[in-house]
Each structure stands twice: as structure tokens, then as C-alpha cells.
Structure 1
Amino acid sequence: MPLDPQVEELRAKRAAENAPQLYTQTLEEARAADLAAIQAGGGEVEPVHFVEDLVTDSGVPLRRYRPEGEGPLPTLVYFFGGGWTLGSIETADGVCRRLANLVPCQVITVGYRLAPENPFPAAVNDCHRATQWIAGHAVELGVDVARLAVGGDSAGGNLAAATTLLARDSGPAIAAQLLVYPNTLYGSDTASMRAGDDPFLFNRTSVNWYWEHYLADESDGTNPLASPLLASSHAGLPPALVITAEFDPLRDEGEFYAEKLYAAGVPTEMVRYNGMIHGFYTMSGVLDTARQALADSADWLRRTLDDA
């Protein structure tokens, strides 16, 4: 399929403006540009019944979104995207608000440390420890620990997958994982990666730039917590929804991961959104398909957590 017409319009605008790729900018410039682009693409800020900022005992910032409802609620711990290098609680704000209202469930997003200042495995450790802390403070946070999920987009999907690998062995119990176009393999040489060369979209140069920031040592790329596809076993992991985009360099490795999970006996659904590009999930203010993907994710989370 060709690019979705709404995506083609966005690409044409970038081309007309000769918009610089994030990897051509300084980290400070790229982080500011990433936030501005996501906020512009996300549309109007959606109100949620209750929102508060918290900090874990180890100093990791969190933001908690709670819809109306008494007592413990199903809870999604969400990790933002940005190649482990960009992004923040603010860049995940729009997605977290929509999912909290759509499911409905409580959503808690994690402000993990960024690379290159804090390379692998800092982000993984922050995400896992924050998830443990949330489960350990379930009463005061109103978390239904039997219905605790993790999720994230792009690098956040990678961190969610890594968190489930750690949690399988050391807790907490995770009931579902939502993986939105996740990185799953360092150095992947797939068909979608080779095809990902558009100068005005997220491309394979983008992918390499992020990995170069994340890994202090290239050998860390073989660690399953960096490349979840390389885990020796995927058995016993929680039910998964894996979302991919047709015109995304990460498409194939996301789909390979879904196949690995399914082959290991993990209840797995995989949805490819045709005509879409990497990053579309955060663009619900400008892309109809982003709104549909969020609604689809919410439906899956509701069904899966109800069955937990």
C-alpha cells in the first residue's frame, strides 16, 4: 500500500520545509523538537479525572492518570518512546490520557533516565524498579495488582518487553504487555530496515543514531534486556498486543517478536497498520488511524485485563 493520505500530507509538509532530522541536531535541540512535534501531533489535551506527579523511593518520577471510579483499578505502567535518548513524561502525556479514559484504567508513566548520559541498562532498571514500586504501593495508589499491565511505544515498547523478562523472574506479576512498534533486536538487517531510507521520515539512520546513544558498549546489544528477541526463552511472559506500522524500519523485528511470543505459548495478537509510519501512535490529533489504534489498544487491554 502507499502511504496513508494523511501521512503523505505530513511528509510533504516536512519536505517542503526541508525539516531537519533529529539525528542532525544537538541532543538539546532534538529533545525540544521531539516534544514540540509530539505535542503538535497529539492535538488538544484530553482531561482526565485525576492526575498527579509522584517520585519513587529511588527517585524515579512518575505521573499517575486515574479515571473516575472507586477502589483498586486495572493499571497500565507506560514507558515513553524516544530511542532511550529523547522523550519524557510530557511526550507520553497525550497517549496516557487517552488510554486512561478509553479502557478505562489507571495509567502511570515512568520518567526513566535517558542515554547517553545514562546508557543501558539504566532505563531498563528504572522501568523494572518503578513497576515493582507501583505494585508494592498498590493500596495507596489504588492499583489492582491482579490486573497490572506494562506498555510503551518504540523504545518504550522495548523497555516494556525487557521489564516483562525481568518480572518473570523477580516480580511483580504482569497481566498484559502492550508493545507499540518496539525495538527488539540491535543491528537488525531486515527487509523493513533496508527499505527504511526516507529522508523525511524515521529511517534506519535514526535507528542507528539511537542505538549509538543507548549502548555504551556494542556488545551490550546481545543482552536480551537490550534485544528482547534474543532471550533464551519467551515462555511464561504475559499476553501481548504487538502493534507495527507498514512503513517503519522496526516493523519486521516487532513482528518477529510477536511470532516468538506466540511460538512460546504466549497469547499474542499482532496488528500491522498499513500506510502508517513510525511514531503514528502519538499523532491522534492529525491521524485518523492513530485514534483507531488507541481505541484498538484500549479494547485489547480491557478484554485482557478483565480475563486476568
Structure 2
Amino acid sequence: MALDPQLAALYAQRATAGIRPLYTMSLDEARAADLAAIQAASGSPEPVHEVTDIELPGPAGPLPARVYRPAGDGPLPVLVYFFGGGWTLGTIDTSDAICRSLTNAAGCLTVSVGYRLAPEHPFPAAVDDCFAALRRIAAAGRTGPLADADPLRIAVGGDSAGGNLSAVMTLLARDAGGPALTTQLLVYPNTDHRADTPSRRENTDPAFFNDKSVDWYWGNYLARAEDGDDPRASPLRAADHTGLPAALVITAEYDPLRDEGEAYAARLRESGVPVTLTRYPGMIHGFFAMAGTLDAGRRAIEQAATHLREAFAAAATEGK
């Protein structure tokens, strides 16, 4: 089908404004432009009962994190959220609007985790940071904003590179014997460095995230191309996907990552993992962060929150 009418209007605006692709900018320019575009498209941030910036111990030093707490008493289920940006762009501010909405709608404690960015810190720095943060969030003896986190109801989630990192976290947690994870939320995730798919070949328009964008991000993330074969970089290449938590996978019709996200959903399903896969027609990569501009972005946030709420409720019942 054609672009969603709201996206078509956005396309026209971008064409008139002559907005340059991020991959044609310097790193500093791209990082600033990415954050500004996301904040403009996400709308006014929802008020949340409590928001606290903290630091978590990481393998190379403290990691910034932001804890969003809904109203109500603990213990509270937890969503550990990893922002997108091709492992190159982004901060915990990037996913602020998403985390606020999910906190309120899912009734969970949301922890947005900062991690080292490429190319300054190539693979596996982001993976190591995210897993260290996840393990700390799930550990006993927490204090402060994390004191009420329920270690038996922890989910991981993220969009784009954050979806990639979330998928990788489930593989690492399974192989390490924990922490136990309730579910995974994968929003248009990168899953295979060597993907050669119709969606990669078809989506070339420089007005939006395209095939060159994908190559640019992978080029920044990987110090060596062969590192992309590591399942910690390309989770679709893992030898075994059994025993992973149930997943909600969200993809977009006009996204170069569409096919590899859907291939990952299929691989999970083939491995006995319960999966819900939803492709949003007429949408582009990034729409999940555009709930203030796109109706489909709001619907996707609502779907994600419903999935989390139901998964947390089921885990609470099983734990009784």
C-alpha cells in the first residue's frame, strides 16, 4: 500500500525543508539532529508519577539510567528499555517520551539504560554495558528508585538498535542462567548484519531511514565486518533460540529492517517461543517514536503497553 497519509504529509515537509540524511552529517551534527527530530515528533512528554536519573555500574564506568515510576505501591514489574540510534546516536533522552507512555500505560517501573556509543566504542561495548545494567537491575539489595523492582517480573525492550540489544539480552540471560525475563519487546530490530532482503533493497529513499542508513550504522558499530557474525551483534545468527521469553515484534512496511525483524519473529516461533508479530502498514522506520505526530505510533505504543501489562499479570499469577 501507499505511505500512510500522515507520513505522506511529513514526506512533503521534509522535501521542502531539504533535510539531509543523518549519514551525510558529522557525528555531532547527526546526534543533535536525531534527538531534535525525535523530540519534535514525539509530542509533549506525559507526566509520570516520579522520574529519577541514576547511575548503574558498567564494565568501563558508571552508566546513565533514568527510572520512571508509576503511581502505586511496589513491588512493581520492570521494563528495561534500550534506546535506538544504530548504536551510534541517542541517549536516555531519546526514548524519554516512549518510556513515559509505557510506564503509565503498562503500570510498570521503566528503566532507560544509557550505553557507550560507536564508533568511539565499537561492538561489543554496548552489549557489555546493557547486560551489566540488566543484571544490576535484577540483583538483590537494590536501593533508591530501584528498591521496589520485582525481580520475578522483568522485561526487556527497545526500538531499532535497542530492539537488537533487547534480543541479545535474552540470549545472554538464557545462557548465563539469568536474570529470568518475562517478555521481550522488539520494535523494528536489526537482527542480521549480512541481511540481503527485499526490504533492504527496496527502501532506498534518502528522505527516510534507508539501506544506506543501515550500512552506515553497522559500519560504525563493527570494528571488523566479521564481528557481525557474532550472535551478540546479529541475534538471528544464534545457533539456538529455544527457551527465550515470549516476544512482541513490531515492524513497519516501508522499513529496510522489516524483513529481518520478521525473520527473527519466525525463528523464535519455530523454536517454540510464543510470538506476536505486527507489521504496521504504510509506516516507516522510527514511527514508534513519533506518537505525537502519527496515529499509528500511538497505536503501537498502546499495543506494546498492553502486551507488557498482560505478560506482567500472567507472571504475577504464575508466581503465586
Matched residue, 1:50: 50
Secondary structure of the corresponding residue to residue 279 of structure 2: strand
Mean Cα deviation higher: 132-141 or 266-275? 132-141
Are the counterparts in 1 of residues 57 and 132 from structure 2 also a CA contact under 8 Å? Answer: no
Q: CA deviation at 1:57?
A: 2.5
1:40-79 Cα deviation digits (max 9, x unpaired): 0010011100100111133111100000011210100000
The reply to whether residue 150 of structure 1 matches residue 156 of structure 2 is: yes
Equivalent-residue separation in structure 2 for 1:13 and 1:306 (angstroms): 43
Match of 1:159 among 165, 169, 185: 165
Alpha-carbon separation, structure 2, partners of 1:145 and 1:267: 21
1:130 maps to 2:133:
yes
Instruction: Provide the residue aligned with 1:119 in structure 2.
Output: 122
Alignment of 1:133-282 (within 5 A): 133-137=136-140, 139-140=142-143, 141=146, 142-170=148-176, 171-282=178-289
**Contact 1:72–1:139 at 8 Å: present in 2 too?**
no
Q: Which runs of 5+ in 1 are unaligned?
A: none
* 2:64 maps to 1:92: no
What TM-score, normalized to structure 2?
A: 0.95
Give the SS at the match of 1:54: strand
- How far does residue 139 in structure 1 lie from its aligned partner after superposition? 4.7
Describe the SS at the equivalent of 2:156: strand
TM-superposed deviation, 1:137: 4.6
Say if 2:113 is the partner of 1:110: yes
Query: How many angstroms apart in 2 are the aligned matches of 1:139 and 1:225?
Result: 27
Q: Aligned equivalents of 1:304 and 1:56: distance in 2?
A: 26
Q: Secondary structure at the match of 2:32?
A: helix
Matched AA of 2:280: Y
Q: Deviation digits for residues 214-243 of structure 1, max 9, x if unmatched?
A: 000100010001000000000000010000
1:123-145: CA deviation from partner (whole Å, max 9, x where unpaired): 01111110000011565311111
Tell me, what secondary structure is at the counterpart of 1:232? coil
Q: What is the match of residue 78 of structure 1?
A: 81
The residue aligned with 2:63 is 60
Identity %: 58
Match of 1:305 among 312, 317, 320: 312
Q: Name segments (4+ residues, structure 1) moved above 6 Å.
A: none
SS of equivalent residue, structure 1 residue 219: helix
> Distance between the aligned counterparts of 2:223 and 2:194, measured in 1?
15
Match for 1:191: what amino acid? P
Name the TM-score, length of structure 1 as normaliser.
0.99
Partners in 2 of 1:119 and 1:27 — Cα distance? Answer: 14
d(CA) in 2 for partners of 1:299, 1:224:
29
Q: How many angstroms apart in 1 are the aligned matches of 2:125 and 2:179?
A: 19
| Residues 1:285 and 1:138: Cα distance change in structure 2 (over 3 Å) | farther
Please list every run of 5 or more consecutive structure 2 residues that lacks an aligned counterpart in the other structure: 316-320
Give the aligned length. 308
Local SS of the residue matching 1:241: strand
Does 2:34 match 1:27?
A: no
